[in-house]
Amino acid sequence: MLLRQSAPILSIAVTVVTILEALAGIAVLYVIKILVDTITREMTAETTGSFSDVLMVLILTGGSILLAVLLQSLASALRMRQGLIVSDHVDREIHDRAIAVDLRYYESPIYYDALQKARHGGSERPAQIVANVVTTLRAALLLAAIFILLSGIEMRLLPALIIPILIALFVRLYFARKLFEWRMSRAQLDRRTSYLDWMMTNVAHAKELRLNRIGPFLRDQYRAGRKEIRQGEIYIEQARLGTEFITSMLGAAVFIGASALLLQQSLQHGRPIGDVVLFVLLLRRAESSGKEFVGNVSKIVDDHLYLRKLFEFLSVKPGIHAPDQPHALPDKLSTGLVVDNISFRYDEAPSDALNGVSMKIEPGQIVALVGENGSGKTTLIKLLTRLYDPSTGSISLDGTDIREFEPDEYRRLMSVIFQDYAVYAETVEDNIRFGDIDLPFDQQKIIDAARSAGAASFIEKLPNAYQTPLTKLFDNGQDLSIGQWQRLALARSFYPNSKFIILDEPTSAVDPKAEFELFEDFRAHLKGRGALIISHRLSTIRQADYTYYLESGRIVEEGQHDDLISAKGKYAELFQKQAWHYR
């Protein structure tokens, strides 16, 4: 299926050339037999023969060898190209599936274990799969042709030649499955060692590793994990090599016995010396082709086991998908977003993250959401943007359940900056455009978004302004402070033509001056959009039209700022604690 989907015409060409390569290899051996017989006949003839016959066969032998080499080179080049194409095709399939699956898969170790099993062996495995299939075909054709030629020389020796190959094949298949099962059981340990390696070599942890002297500890953890993985593989490999050595001794005994038998027949019964030479050549070629066949069949079985894991991963279907007949999004909003008594629980979680939450965000309205860490604020964002669906209850847009809309189209109504916003090792321009990459390129719109977020001032001081790469990974790159990155993320949320903007701790890393400038004319920056602001800074949410207080997954207070202060509840208590520091 991989070959048919990725490179069907090339696959046919590879198959044809591989068959020709196998036939050419057999032809070379047969021509060598003819050469030996011709030389023997001329040497034993009563009268001096013509050297022209030997010369013609010699030229034919050289031409056959040259043709075989050319076909081998062509086949190798085609197989390499096919392998690379298949490898890229598999990568695209994995990427497409990784993009399509629901967010919940990324928040579960089951997903990462499945991905690790699907990709075990690295990007070279798809190329190996193609090479193994093709070389197995070639080896099988060679063996079939060799056995046909050998049967014409001495039929009784065929069983003795076939049995060692079958034994070797059984041994290889047994240990291939054993090694596969062991690797699958170690998938999570493999991921952990990869993670430890990433922590030790990535800039994200470089400062703390040095200041807190964590590096040696992580290095020892990595070595212990790799040692456990390595020792398991070495044990299985040693057992395989020992067993294969015994089967090789059996094959050597068969070779010596068969060769001795034919040589005796040649000396005592006048069998042509060319038959003996051809038999020895075929026997040695049968041995090498048999090893190649056995090795590649075991690799195909091994590849098949891994491909099962790959196809299992690729068969994962997103749970959030468009209905058969999605509703059209309203051109102009009237009532906005309404959250009606929703509850939600993460997979394997012991309790609900949200329980009976109701709220609304009207067009053009600024709504604040307040609560302690772990109260469910970010979870609510995931439900509003339909990264998850609620367990119970509903979320509607202008009276229509958001599950009735096409998910991607609905999400384009939202501009979101998460507390753990992404930073991209791309240009400033791209970092802002990623707010909606489908919009036509508009430099002025990018600049306007940066100005609204208070980011234009430092962007214009960068070496190449909006074309500056924001990374130290590549040449001519620049890095930003945490506060500058956050303002750039804000610019990304202002860039799209959305109906709502959701800001999760949008100013946690910016200085008071930048925060003041952002919210001084915040409503104008929104340009008529509704907004949901999550913040621990009550100075940030002071401008909200309406505020909800979330505690342990429940809305425990709601109202306007003055009303909530007068109620002297949890909101007022939080406000008073922060206000105390400014007395």
d(CA 127, CA 86): 6
Tell me which of 38-52, 229-243, 365-379 is least confident: 38-52
Q: Which has more pLDDT, 4 or 465?
A: 465
Which pLDDT tens digit goes with each residue over 70-122? 877 787 777 777 667 777 777 777 777 777 766 776 666 666 666 666 665 44
Which pLDDT tens digit goes with each residue over 532-564? 988 777 767 777 888 898 888 888 888 888 888
* Alpha-carbon distances, residue 176 vs 83, 126, 170 (angstroms): 22, 17, 10
> Minimal CA–CA distance to 506: which of 525, 442, 497?
525
**The pLDDT of residue 6:** 59
Flag whether pLDDT at 147 surpasses 60.
yes
Q: What is the mean pLDDT of residues 350-379?
A: 87
Ordered alpha helix ranges (H), 339-481: 377-384, 407-411, 428-433, 443-452, 456-459
**The pLDDT of residue 13:** 78
Q: What is the mean pLDDT of residues 348-357?
A: 86
| Predicted TM-score (pTM) of this structure | 0.63
**The pLDDT of residue 122:** 45
Contacts of 149 (CB under 8 A, 6+ apart): 26, 29, 30, 278, 282
Instruction: Yes or no: say if 282 and 255 are a contact pair by the CB < 8 Å rule.
Output: no
Q: Which of the residue ranges 216-225, 503-512, 572-581 has the most confident prediction, judged by mean pLDDT?
A: 216-225
* Structure confidence at residue 496 as a pLDDT band (50, 70, 90): confident
Q: Which has more pLDDT, 130 or 364?
A: 364
Q: 189-218 burial string, b = 16+ CB within 10 Å, else e?
A: ebbebeebeebbeeeebeeebeeeeeeeeb
Flag whether pLDDT at 324 surpasses 80.
yes
**The pLDDT of residue 340:** 92
Q: Structural domains in the chain? A: 2-314 (1.20.1560.10), 333-413+499-512+529-583 (3.40.50.300), 421-497 (3.40.50.300)
Q: Which has more pLDDT, 404 or 579?
A: 404
Q: What is the mean pLDDT of residues 413-435?
A: 85
Q: How many CA atoms lie within 13 A of 115 on its CB side?
A: 17
- Provide the percentage of residues in the chain whose pLDDT is more than 90: 3
Contacts of 433 (CB under 8 A, 6+ apart): 439, 441, 446, 495
**The pLDDT of residue 121:** 47
